[in-house]
Structure 1
Amino acid sequence: MKNIETELQSSEFGEVSFRFPATHTQQAFWYLDRLERGNPAWNIAVRFELKGNLDPHRLEAAINVVVNRHESLRTTFDLNNGEPVQAVHDSAIIPLPVDDISSLPEQHRDVIEEELTIAEGEQRFDLAVGPLIRARLLKLEEARHTLLITVHHIIADGWSIGILSDEITTCYQNTESLHELPLQFADYAIWHRDYVESETAGSINYWRQQLAELPLCEITPDLPRSTVKANNGYILSTLLPEQLITSISKIALDNQTTLYVAILSALKLLIARYNGQQDICIGTQFAGRNRTEFERIIGVFVNTAILRTELSPRMTFTQLLTAVSHTFEGALQHAEVPYANVIASLHSKFDRSRHTGYSINFIYQRDFVQPREFDGITMTPLPSKSPGAIYDLNFFMVRRASGWRLSCEYDSQLYLPTTITTILDQLQSILSQVIENPCRLLNEFCFDRQ
């Protein structure tokens, strides 16, 4: 393996142009980073396959156009009176190192590609020094590369990765083809802080009532839990049959709800059968981009909410759908309250073995990163490698070109891969039983613990 020289040998930042307060979500990430500096669990690590006659120098230039277009990508974090603030630099450049592994035998090359991908995703960021984005290119063949991009979650979210990939491919073709952004993340941050301070008192009361005496909700781990959360993560996934998705979507529609609520309801049933509880709490994330002017800004807009539902064995699945839908709609109406503010209002004791205060999360999202063709090159997103598990179990549904993929990122210091495979199979089995009879009582679902 050899490293190819690039025009840029190291990252460089210009002077700090201005500072402004971190958002509530960024404050939460900053304080979590204080618990373990550079914790890679807060990295967003993505990768793309690039096929075609790629010019690495043009790609490097395109990446840096986008970095300088978005203030969030040239932001670091300082302290002011004990509070984290964002420091926006007037310019930034990041290198694109190229690792040429094309001469290796194919089997060995695949192993090295995997190792480099994992190592890149797990490399730590320093929030005070930056940059909080980096890129790396792996040359696999003359006309096939893998592009690795890693961003700290404090400056970006999943939606942002879609913007980033779109703009990189656009700038690769023409670095002057993008219109100037009318707003930057600082505009959102200032607006949102004012909104939270003036408009969310009623929503705080809603969350206090909704999450009062919140129980611990988990699937018992296979292995002992450490007193301080480790960050070893792994992802297992399965492609759901198209007919299953079509049938579940129709049942959801017939019950005036969505596919998201239907999958979440099945997951809640599965967890209840594992832990024997009826009060089931699962975290989720809302995009937080409720205004069109924020849709093309790279930044961390996402917010967390806990969805709590009381199950009864004599409840039918359609009744469960109604209950979960009601919970979701209530959460959506009060989704502007930062999760950190909600937790603070509950006066709950912080459990350092659970960064977020809960164990199980569920994400359902559109595929932000689409395959792209540009300048004779095809760019295709590849499945991610986990840089670290934030939750004990993080289930996510994402629509890919091949169909709907159900995945679980899990803490590999708590669960064995065989357990996760079984859980994913059981969840699919529950959905199949729902299709057979949506009015089946919850205690009549077949549940093989294997």
Structure 2
Amino acid sequence: MTAALSRADLAARIAALTPGQRARLRDRVRRQVRHVQSQLTSGQLRLWQTQQRLPGRAVDVVCQAVHLTGGPADLDLLAGRVRGFADRHEALRTTFEVHGSGIRPVVHEHLPPRLARTRVTGADEAHRLALELAAEPFDLTAGPLLRVTLAEGPTPDESWLLVVVHNLVFDAWSFELLLDELARPENTAPAAAPAFSGFAREQGEWLEGPAGRKAAAYWAGEVADAPPPLPTDRPRPAQGTGRRGGRVEFAVSRAVTEAIAAAAQREAATAYTGWLAVAWAALAEFGGRQDVLLGTFTAGRDRPGTSETVGYLLNVLPVRLREAGDGSHRARTRAARTATRAALKHAAHPGELIAADAERPRVPGTHPLLDAVFVFDNLGEGGREIQGARADTRDLDKGTTRFDLTLAVYPGPDGTRGWLEYDEELYDAATARRLTERFTALAETSAGAPDGDGSQE
């Protein structure tokens, strides 16, 4: 019989473990000592309510097509990595059940993802398969909520990874963690897998503490006397729309992209702030008032350990843009910088808990406060490699929209591309095109003005 280890012996053995062995040990302990998430986070609750109001619609669904080229990808290896990733991360083993008068998450010991293998003739067929995966309704009570299809291409050096996941358990950051796992070199240990329930518990504790109360007071002031929503071509239904969406894509040159970034840098601001200033100018003109309440995304991963957490941590916060000064791009950039810096101090507060008037939502439907949202993602230089193959990811248009208007901007080394997503029940395609054209025109004007002083009035 083996004698029980003393605390000193146990500590010595743990200290002797390699970093990879310690990571695996932490993972096993987390799996055995289960955190109980008694209720949904406010972000998850909004997603659940949207799903119940729009059953069968792919509104809050991640749909990504990863094109692998330049080398034969080992699809068997990738399938195993996907299974292991889902098994390690609590969120991907979670389903949701109605319990009494509320909803609660249920964490399963094992809940394998839905994996499929196929062959495609090219990008069009691969994208069609991904959209079919996204359009298939999710059973939130039975799961699984992760679907992956691995598709061989027309040549050995070309394949696709099609990923569809419900946002209740996954966000854009989680997708990057999945790609990190697929790209992990052999003979290295997987990254740590903190439990989403730990984040949910800590968020609840933070909200009840002094920092949470201070943030709630700040946001109440930001949305007080909020401006009316932007005008629409047709009236908003009292209960919200069916969120059928269209997209208008656009592209801006490399020279304009670099000029906006440089102008922002001169004001000690980021490229995000410079593009936000352009969006403000376009929406102020569109709405006929300078006071604009615009949603923006934050990763929600400022707390220790959250950078490796899979789940829905994404936060959608309002940015109140009011004082445009002389109307120049420089003045707007400065004002946007001030507004975003102040908001970042309180960015941990869930956006769903911020409301201009709890009894009378500003916007009916999927979000009570926000009708327009600005998305920014700097694509950076180069591409990712997965097992020796170049990986290029495309976010596919599912034909749905989460908000009345969503303006997405993706600066890259060759210029900026993006799209305006609009609710087809509220806006005509011609209106969306005019707004997109005005946005790109203002971007070019801002870039061409001396020192960013060009008027946008």
TM-score range, shorter chain: 0.7 to 0.9
Whether contact under 8 Å (2:127, 2:396) holds in the other structure is: no
Residue 216 of structure 1 corresponds to: 228
Residue 138 of structure 1 corresponds to: 151
Residue 9 of structure 1 corresponds to: none
Whether contact under 8 Å (1:155, 1:299) holds in the other structure is: yes
Residue 5 of structure 2 corresponds to: none
1:159 to 167, 173, 177: 173
Unpaired runs of at least 5, structure 2: 1-30
What is the alpha-carbon distance in structure 2 between the residues aligned to residue 87 and residue 369 of structure 1? 40
Residue 48 of structure 1 corresponds to: 66
**1:312 Cα offset (Å):** 5.5
Whether contact under 8 Å (2:293, 2:321) holds in the other structure is: yes
Whether contact under 8 Å (1:185, 1:297) holds in the other structure is: yes
Q: 1:357 to 1:262 in 2, by over 3 A?
A: same
Whether contact under 8 Å (1:16, 1:88) holds in the other structure is: no
RMSD (CA atoms):
2.9
What is the alpha-carbon distance in structure 2 between the residues aligned to residue 375 and residue 327 of structure 1? 42
> Is the counterpart of residue 85 in structure 1 residue 96 in structure 2?
no
- 1:232-257 residue CA offsets vs partner (Å, 9 max, x unmatched): 22333333222212211221122222
1:302 to 303, 306, 314: 314
- 1:248-291 residue CA offsets vs partner (Å, 9 max, x unmatched): 12211222222212211111111121221232111111111113
**1:68 Cα offset (Å):** 0.7
What is the alpha-carbon distance in structure 1 between the residues aligned to residue 250 and residue 79 of structure 2? 34
**1:114 Cα offset (Å):** 4.1
Whether contact under 8 Å (2:379, 2:410) holds in the other structure is: yes
Q: Look up the SS of the partner of 1:49 in the other structure.
A: strand
Matches within 5 A, 1:422-441: 422-435=434-447, 436-437=449-450, 438-441=452-455
**1:180 Cα offset (Å):** 5.6
2:301 to 264, 282, 289: 289
What is the alpha-carbon distance in structure 1 between the residues aligned to residue 431 and residue 456 of structure 2? 22
**1:411 Cα offset (Å):** 2.2
**1:421 Cα offset (Å):** 3.5
Q: Look up the SS of the partner of 1:131 in the other structure.
A: coil
Whether contact under 8 Å (1:98, 1:136) holds in the other structure is: yes
Matches within 5 A, 1:329-340: 329-340=341-352
Whether contact under 8 Å (1:47, 1:149) holds in the other structure is: yes
TM-score normalized with structure 1 length = 0.84
> Is the counterpart of residue 124 in structure 1 residue 137 in structure 2?
yes
Q: Look up the SS of the partner of 1:44 in the other structure.
A: strand
Q: 1:18 to 1:128 in 2, by over 3 A?
A: farther
Whether contact under 8 Å (2:442, 2:456) holds in the other structure is: no
Q: Look up the SS of the partner of 1:41 in the other structure.
A: coil
Whether contact under 8 Å (2:380, 2:411) holds in the other structure is: no
What is the alpha-carbon distance in structure 2 between the residues aligned to residue 169 and residue 305 of structure 1? 32
- 1:361-390 residue CA offsets vs partner (Å, 9 max, x unmatched): 001124499833344433221242235200
Matches within 5 A, 1:231-250: 231-250=243-262
**1:141 Cα offset (Å):** 0.8
Q: 1:241 to 1:356 in 2, by over 3 A?
A: farther
Q: How high is the sequence identity, in percent, across the aligned residues?
A: 21
Q: Look up the SS of the partner of 2:161 in the other structure.
A: strand
Whether contact under 8 Å (1:40, 1:121) holds in the other structure is: yes
What is the alpha-carbon distance in structure 1 between the residues aligned to residue 321 and residue 387 of structure 2? 50
Unpaired runs of at least 5, structure 1: 1-13, 103-108, 444-450
1:185 to 196, 217, 232: 196
Q: 1:39 to 1:344 in 2, by over 3 A?
A: farther
Q: Look up the SS of the partner of 1:141 in the other structure.
A: coil
What is the alpha-carbon distance in structure 2 between the residues aligned to residue 369 and residue 295 of structure 1? 22
Matches within 5 A, 1:378-397: 378-386=390-398, 388-397=400-409
Q: 1:368 to 1:17 in 2, by over 3 A?
A: farther
What is the alpha-carbon distance in structure 2 between the residues aligned to residue 77 and residue 367 of structure 1? 34
Q: Look up the SS of the partner of 1:190 in the other structure.
A: helix
Residue 88 of structure 2 corresponds to: 69
Q: What is the total number of aligned residue pairs between the two structures?
A: 420
Q: 1:252 to 1:54 in 2, by over 3 A?
A: closer
Q: Which is further off, 331-340 or 352-361? A: 352-361
Q: Which is further off, 279-288 or 53-62? A: 53-62
1:147 to 161, 177, 183: 161
**1:345 Cα offset (Å):** 6.9
